[in-house]
Amino acid sequence: MYGRQKMTALLRRQGHEVFERRAGRRMRELGVNGLVRGKGVRATVPDRTAARVPDLLAVLPGDVDRAATALAVV
């Protein structure tokens, strides 16, 4: 099934002058519904109790102080 956007595009390709809102109204009157896609499957579920990865930039040699401080008040 098509939703109103795809139905509008299809009708326009066939040479009909139609707007998306009108196509939606006509579909509703005829009881035609577009498909509602479900939520995707989640392949990885995070372990909430696992230890977090440390900040890798903090352990690099020659580490620079990365504190976010303003140099001057604007």
Do residues 11 and 21 lie in contact, with contact meaning Cβ atoms separated by under 8 Å?
A: no
Domain boundaries, the chain: 1-37
pLDDT digits (tens, 9 = 90+) for 36-72: 788 888 888 888 898 888 776 666 666 566 666 677 7
DSSP 4: H
Q: How many CB atoms lie within 10 A of CB 18?
A: 15
Mean pLDDT on 8-34 = 92
Query: How much is the pTM?
Result: 0.47
pLDDT digits (tens, 9 = 90+) for 22-44: 999 999 999 988 887 888 888 88
Do residues 1 and 34 lie in contact, with contact meaning Cβ atoms separated by under 8 Å?
A: yes
DSSP line for 9-42: HHHHHTT----HHHHHHHHHHHT-----PPPPP-
What is residue 73's predicted lDDT score, i.e. its pLDDT?
A: 76
What is residue 29's predicted lDDT score, i.e. its pLDDT?
A: 93
